[in-house]
């Protein structure tokens, strides 16, 4: 059981790993665990639209997609040109001798190959999370979306696999991240502040 517990402690460390955007931008971005959680939810939304029946497998793939970064770290678009990452070795070591190791290593490998619909959905979700983060930063007054527009347009128009993700990417470009609470039932719209 101790190897399983070591693994769980390592997973807990994901919340302390900041996304590498912070290096050049100096602003507060999501942690790796924040990113993984939203990728799970994005993947589920895409899967529903794409008709995927086995969402259990999809969730596991989304959970493991960046798990190697607990050891190989998040590498941004500049450092990727110079860093020699050993993600496969990192994920093997992370999962070694755990009771879920073989299953999750196989799922990680499938995700990396991007040949199955589930793997493509997870990659789409991984990409869309960046665009959601940029939209949130824009709502806070940080104009990263303008600076990153050429790069993100390239991703949105050439790197997404599913039609659902392509539509979502288009919607994100004009979405207001605050609509979920401003347009929902709240004290102002239906509550005591309306009086």
Express each pLDDT in 154-164 by its tens digit: 999 999 999 99
Distance CA 84, CA 87 (A): 9
With respect to residue 188, please indicate whether it lies within any of the assigned structural domains.
no
Domain that holds residue 6: 2-182
With respect to residue 193, please indicate whether it lies within any of the assigned structural domains.
no
CATH number of the domain residue 162 falls in:
1.10.3210.10
User: Quick one: 92 exposed, middle or buried, by C-beta within 10 A (0-12, 13-18, 19+)?
Assistant: middle
Distance CA 195, CA 187 (A): 10
Higher pLDDT, 143 or 77: 143
pLDDT in the model for residue 74:
66
With respect to residue 92, please indicate whether it lies within any of the assigned structural domains.
yes
Higher pLDDT, 21 or 126: 126
Total number of domains constituting the chain: 1
Distance CA 85, CA 12 (A): 22
Give me 118's structure tokens.
Answer: 């589930």
Give the pLDDT mean for 31-51: 97
Within a 10 A sphere around the Cβ of 76, how many other Cβ atoms?
15
With respect to residue 118, please indicate whether it lies within any of the assigned structural domains.
yes
With respect to residue 194, please indicate whether it lies within any of the assigned structural domains.
no
| Dihedral (CA of 132, 135, 136, 142) sign | positive
pLDDT in the model for residue 72:
79
Give the pLDDT mean for 117-128: 98
pLDDT in the model for residue 76:
66
With respect to residue 111, please indicate whether it lies within any of the assigned structural domains.
yes
Cβ 61 vs Cβ 118: under 8 Å: yes
Predicted TM-score of the model (pTM): 0.91
């Amino acid at each position: 059981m101790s190897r399983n517990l070591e693994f769980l402690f390592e997973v807990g460390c994901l919340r302390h790993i900041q996304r590498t955007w912070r290096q050049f931008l100096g602003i507060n971005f999501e942690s790796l665990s924040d990113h993984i959680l939203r990728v799970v939810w994005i993947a589920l939304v895409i899967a529903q639209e794409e008709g995927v029946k086995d969402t259990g497998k999809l969730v596991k793939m989304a959970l493991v997609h960046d798990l190697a970064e607990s050891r190989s770290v998040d590498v941004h678009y500049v450092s990727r040109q110079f860093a020699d990452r050993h993600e496969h070795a990192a994920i093997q070591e992370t999962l070694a001798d755990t009771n879920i190791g073989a299953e999750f290593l196989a799922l990680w490998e499938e995700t990396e190959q991007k040949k199955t619909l589930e793997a493509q959905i997870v990659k789409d979700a991984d990409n869309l999370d960046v665009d959601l983060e940029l939209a949130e930063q824009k709502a806070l007054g940080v104009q990263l979306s303008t600076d990153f527009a050429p790069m993100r347009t390239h991703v949105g128009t050439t790197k997404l696999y599913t039609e659902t993700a392509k539509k979502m990417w288009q919607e994100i470009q004009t979405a207001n991240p605050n609509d979920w609470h401003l347009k929902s039932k709240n004290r102002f719209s239906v509550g005591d502040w309306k009086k």
